[in-house]
Amino acid sequence: MKRTCFNTELNESNVGQEVTLVGWVSKKRNLGSIAFIDLRDRSGIIQIACNEDTNLPDVRNEYVISVTGKVSLRSNPNPNLPTGKIEIVASEVKVVNTAKTTPMIIADETDALEDTRLKYRYLDLRRPMMQKYQDVRHNIKMAVHEYLSKLRFIEVETPILTLSTPEGARDYLVPSRVHHGKFYALPQSPQIFKQLLMIGGFERYYQIARCFRDEDLRADRQPDFTQIDIETSFLDQDQFLTMMEGLIKDIFKRTINYDVKLPLRRLPYQEAMDNYGSDKPDTRFDIKLHDVKEVFANSEFGGFKDVEAIKAIKVDGVAPTTSRKVIDGLTLEAKKFGLGGLSVLKKENGEFTGSFVKFLSEEEKATLNNVLDVNDDDIVIIAAGKYNRVCPLLGSLRLKYARELNLIQPGTFDLLWVIDFPLFERDVENGQITSTHHPFTRPRDEDLQYLDTDPTKILSYAYDIVINGYEAGGGSLRIYDQDIQKKIFQVLGLSDEDIKRKFGFFVDAFQYGTPPHAGMAFGLDRLTMILGQTDNIRDVIAFPKNLAATCPMSGAPNIVDEDQLNDLGIAVTDWENK
């Protein structure tokens, strides 16, 4: 079984050559005097022709076989295959290994539900589409290595077993066998270590880093994930973002041969929220949020009195299909965002209609019409309440309508930076001040004056890169001044004891000549998902977890032997129910 080459390395120039190929049987068609086999290897499919002279053994789907024969031109070329103009006329076919009937179709179009695909992931990975996703992932990593190496970056591995530190999500804890009652934590990110590398004088670091967060899962989130982690010294924000734009341009070109136009737009956070209702806006379609608080400044409607924000979106042409049931669904969506409801108006025959119309004065109708430029068959959706609930609701609805109305052209990419994030935010429920990103994010110099008066006015040198409405990466300039860092901790309500316990070794290091530094992390899984043009992050991870954070294939997590627990000094209560 001496393989000559991969399937798709052959073309018309090889006609007449004898080759030996290996792979899996994708399909077999027996036409009596001749049989055809579609042979699949990692590179693709090639047709094998077996005539009456071929001693063809029993061959079935997913058998592993070796084929020796001559390259010939096909009488009926297949334009959908890279090898569609040729076939192998087999002189010998050997069965290398047999296979049971698979529980799913091994093809891009499969009949399997995701649970089955995850349980038999090793079969799912044979599908050409799934292998394409891993090719995209690999090419992204290769682009990262080459681009950053040219700019004198050095790849450094940071610890997987580390100290539990507050980084915004729950840590995965690892008990120590040697030190009973003490725990390591798996890193949520290499954040602390990469900043320590800057203090260590490396100046430019990167790592394809594994990260772990014990949080509720969504379609685009996994408990263990990979990020392209980057940190630099002695660069300001413009220099750093320009450098990262070059990296993104290289990734897109190498991976999908797409030319990203630079420089990327830079959209302030406040503008993103005001206009799109999201800090990761998809701007490929033109539905925007409009501030209509002034329109209803004198409204008699109770829901508009003494509220922080009143905003609206206009959706073109959907009035005829906006039934009572549809409006009830929109209202239910509003309640998910913590709002009591919303108001929906239709424009029909030159007039606003709907149950909310009775609350509008003629002046309000005219002003609203002018502000939003409403035409017949359009609808207007109005939400009122707290700003940080109104905007996300309408942002979610604009995306819903974009999908339903096919407003987004397939195969297009929209890249931008969102900048000038607030340094702090208040918890909606308890009003407590927390860091928008993390407590090491540097405040803008011109806003330092608000540290003692109103910290919520402070903007930061933080930035996210947004691609097609996904946050594909984010970072910030870091605090390097000890006095500012101490003040930030005080604003967050941390005592000296809290600081020592949570960040002791890290804060100590800042006393020994810390350079100005900046960094970010790109989500490799999410970036692969975007470039691979799938909306399911599990597609681009070889062995992912499901939404219950379990692995249907291996059964993880699972119980362990009591001896293992005893070695760790751990007892599990209510064992049967665990």
114, part of any domain: no
- How many distinct structural domains can be found in the chain? 3
**Domain extent at residue 400:** 285-404
* Residues 257 and 333 occupy one common structural domain: no
pLDDT at 578 over 60: no
Q: Is residue 558 part of a domain?
A: no
Does residue 115 lie in a domain region?
A: no
Are 424 and 496 within one domain?
Answer: yes
pLDDT of residue 574: 73
Q: Residue 166 pLDDT > 80, yes or no?
A: no
pLDDT digits (tens, 9 = 90+) for 257-276: 999 999 999 999 999 999 99
Domain match, 134 and 245 both: yes
Contact between 93 and 66 under an 8 Å Cβ cutoff? The reply is: yes
Mean pLDDT of 541-561: 94
> Would residue 577 count as lying in a domain?
no
Residue 167 has pLDDT above 70, yes or no: no
Residue 468 and residue 523 in one domain: yes
Work out the average pLDDT over 457-482. 96
Nearest to 74 by CA among 59, 62, 84: 84
Residue 278 belongs to some domain of the structure: no
List Cα–Cα distances, 269 to 291, 420, 465, in angstroms.
16, 6, 12
- Give the CATH number, domain containing residue 180: 3.30.930.10
Above 60 in pLDDT, residue 192?
Answer: yes
DSSP-assigned letter for residue 356:
G
pTM over 0.85: yes
* SS3 category, 272: helix
Domain with residue 387: its CATH number is 3.30.1360.30
Residue 319 within a domain: yes
Q: Say if residue 436 is in the same domain as residue 497.
A: yes
Asked whether residue 110 is domain-assigned, the answer is no
User: Which of 404, 431, 455 is the C-terminal boundary of a domain?
Assistant: 404
> Which DSSP string corresponds to 293-339?
TTTTTT---GGGTT-SEEEEEEETT-GGG--HHHHHHHHHHHHHTT-
Between CA 273 and CA 270 the distance in angstroms is: 5
Tell whether 149 and 86 lie within a shared domain.
no
Same domain? For 35 and 74 the reply is: yes
Judge if 354 and 435 occupy the same domain.
no
| Same-domain status, 183 and 252 | yes
Select from 360, 384, 404 the last residue of a domain. 404
Q: Are strands 44-50 and 86-97 parallel, antiparallel or unpaired?
A: parallel
What is the four-CA torsion angle of 161, 163, 167, 170, rounded to 10 degrees? 70
List the CATH number of the domain containing 48.
Answer: 2.40.50.140
The answer to whether residues 150 and 256 belong to one domain is yes
> Do 201 and 253 fall into the same domain?
yes
Residue 487 lies in a domain: yes
**Whether the predicted pLDDT of 241 surpasses 80:** yes
On the question of pLDDT at 195 being above 80, the answer is yes
R_g of the chain computed on alpha carbons: 29
